[in-house]
Amino acid sequence: MGKVRIVTDSTAELSPEIADRLGITVIPLNIHIGQDMLRDGIDISPLEFFKRLRTTDSLPFTTSPPLSVFEDTYRTLGKETDDIVSIHLSAKLSNTVELAKETASSFIGQRRIAVVDSLSTSLALKTLVTSAGEASKEGAALDEVVRLVRGMIPHVYLVFFVESLEYLERGGRVGKAEALLGTMLSIKPLLIIEDGEILPLEKVRTISNGIDKLFEFITEFPHIEKISILKGANAIDPTELLDKLRVVHPVREIDVATYGPVLATHLGPGAIGVFVYEGI
């Protein structure tokens, strides 16, 4: 009954055009700014979110979609197919994937719903989801789509250079003393999303060092299928990093994208990072 349908969440940052072309259903997370609760990608865009950050003193945060949204989504798609693959951001960054699993269990016996924790977010999640969508479009079965996505997960990487420790401190990822000492000594962290969690990779003292480390991280891969630069609205100009990458990857298209509100609540608006998919 129909092809496998793919579901994801708004942190994959899919354009409406891509979602429509591949038949992917996107469930929005909720963004909380001050007294407002806004649906990510529907009520507010990443650029609008960063604009709002400049005018609020409260720390923004995100919440998962309610169970009813997953129920409605799976029920509606069930009119078109018996097979659904639901791929979401890391369970260590949000409980969205756990809600998807809880909802999927209530449909046992009615349709097959495979829920996959991407162990990442943003462009890493986007790459997994679009690959799943392409496979589904070509007629792949549910088990084949799940096997493809799980095989790709260990090969997608997100690394960030964070200039300010403010958001990491507010989010409880570094202590106040560590944040204060880091600020006093001009120590800035290089962070990696590894096994679904934002973890420190290295410490640097200058923006230039941070750019160098991002570049070095990429050059360690013997084979790369995709490279992108990710940045916040207040991040440094990525031109230096882009120029360095084009020297070693002269024929590769390298996109520059703005990361969304979920990463911004963890990293702040001033981080710059790289996404790498090394292929399988």
Final residue of a structural domain among 151, 185, 206: 151
Vertex 201, ends 200 and 203: CA angle to 5°?
85
Range of the domain at 50: 5-151
Final residue of a structural domain among 128, 151, 174: 151
Question: Any alpha helices (H) in 116-206, and if so which ranges?
Answer: 122-137, 142-152, 166-170, 176-184
- What pLDDT score does 179 carry? 37
**How many structural domains comprise the chain?**
2
| Distance in angstroms (rounded) separating the CA atoms of residues 9 and 25 | 8
CB atoms within 10 A of CB 128: 25
- What pLDDT score does 204 carry? 84
Final residue of a structural domain among 103, 126, 151: 151
The rounded average pLDDT for each run of 10 residues, N- to C-terminus, in the chain (280 residues) is: 89 94 96 89 86 80 93 96 97 94 95 97 97 97 98 96 66 42 56 87 85 93 93 88 91 88 82 92
| Distance in angstroms (rounded) separating the CA atoms of residues 98 and 91 | 7
- What pLDDT score does 65 carry? 94
Kindly report the pTM of this predicted structure.
0.91
**Do 107 and 238 sit in the same domain of this protein?**
no
**Do 140 and 195 sit in the same domain of this protein?**
no
CATH assignment at residue 163 = 3.30.1180.10
